[in-house]
Amino acid sequence: MSPASRPAAKAATPSPSWAFSESFVPDDDTMRLARAASRQLALTPASQGVTSALTFFARLINARAVVEIGTGAGVSGLALIRGMAPDGILTSIDLETEHQVAARQIFAAEGVPPRRARLIAGSALNVLPKLSDGAYDMVVVDGDPLEFVEYVDQSQRLLRGGGLLVLHHALWKGLLAEESNEDDETVIIREALQAVQDIEGLTATLLPVGDGLLVAVKA
In angstroms, what CA-CA distances link 128 with 35, 59, 149, 152, 165? 27, 24, 13, 11, 14
Name residue 205's beta-bridge partners: 215
Q: Which domains does the chain have, with CATH numbers?
A: 16-218 (3.40.50.150)
Burial class, 169, CB count within 10 angstroms (exposed 0-12 / middle 13-18 / buried 19+): buried
Question: pLDDT tens across 159-201, in order?
Answer: 999 999 999 999 999 898 888 889 999 999 999 999 999 999 9
For residue 8, the model assigns a pLDDT of 42
Question: Is the predicted pLDDT of residue 141 greater than 90, yes or no?
Answer: yes
Residue 169 annotated among the catalytic residues of the structure? no
pLDDT of residue 15: 87
Q: Is the pLDDT of residue 126 over 70?
A: yes
If one compares 4 and 72, the residue with the highest pLDDT of the two is 72
Q: Residues with Cβ < 8 Å from 16, sequence gap 6 or more?
A: none
What is the reported pLDDT for 12? 57
Mean pLDDT of the chain, nearest integer: 94
Residue type for position 119: L
pLDDT at site 110: 98
pLDDT band at 7 (very low <50, low <70, confident <90, very high): very low
Please write the tens of the pLDDT for every residue from 31-79. Answer: 999 999 999 999 999 999 999 999 999 999 999 999 999 999 999 999 9
Can you give the pLDDT at residue 2?
45
Choose the catalytic residue: 35, 104, 168, 173. Answer: 168
SS3 8: coil
Whether 11 has a pLDDT exceeding 60, the answer reads no
pLDDT at 80 over 50: yes
Q: Using only the alpha carbons of the chain, give its radius of gyration.
A: 16
Q: Where are the beta strands (DSSP E) in the chain?
A: 65-69, 89-94, 117-121, 136-141, 159-168, 202-207, 213-218
pLDDT at 1: 39
